[in-house]
Amino acid sequence: MLRRTISGVVEKLPLRFSLSVKAHHYARLLSHDLLDRDFDLRGIRVLVRPGETVVDVGANVGIWTHHLSRLVGSGGREWSVEPTPETFALLRINIERFNLGNVITSDRAVSDEDGSVSMSVPKDARGFRNYHLAQIGVSSNSPSFKIQSVFIPRNPGQHRPELLFLRTEHLLTRDRALSA
């Protein structure tokens, strides 16, 4: 109950203060070894090798970004794509805080073409934004915003990723959003 009360207070703060509190929370989370709590993070070690290029679509605040950056090492690249503006701000803060110099960020939605799309962050039962349910398209219980979309080609030349992570709830096609 206390956790829900605290998150409710944080959501009501002005954006600058809310981001600061959230950044502190996620920094503490990322400072701890999450491998014991997330089996997927533990398992990804067999797929990613030092020096590789990986793309993390739907990077959120950077939990996977943090881990993937360490796995590919200084000779590798990790692209983190997160279209939701507030979440992208937290991702950038975490990348800077943890000195993840091999990470390249993009605040775009991934699509089958370059362009612009509407996106929304639905509200939960308490009326707070639920960033885990952010989606392409307009939601009836939250305002939408426009975001640029980018196409990731299948053969992007010299920066071809060895691994592409898609941890999203919805995939975008040219005319509509599809549930994954």
Residues 77-120 pLDDT 10s = 999 999 988 889 999 999 999 999 999 999 998 877 788 888 88
Residues 6+ apart with CB under 8 A from 166: 57, 58, 180
Residue 168's identity, in one-letter code, is T
What's the mean per-residue pLDDT of the chain? 76
Q: Which pLDDT does position 167 carry in this prediction? A: 54
DSSP, residue by residue, 11-49: HHS-HHHHHHHHHHHHHHHHHS-GGGT-HHHHHGGGT--
Q: Which pLDDT does position 74 carry in this prediction? A: 95
What domains appear along the chain, each with residue ranges and CATH number? 2-114+154-179 (3.40.50.150)
> Which residue, 105, 75, 76, 101, is CA-closest to 90?
105
Collapsing DSSP to helix, strand or coil, 119 comes out as strand
Tell me: pLDDT of 32 over 90: no
Report pLDDT digits (tens) over 163-172. Answer: 565 554 444 3
Strand 103-106 relative to strand 77-81: parallel, antiparallel, unpaired? parallel
Output the pTM of the full model.
0.75
Asked if 61 and 85 count as a contact pair (C-beta separation under 8 A), the reply is no
Tokens representing residue 166 in the block: 């898609």
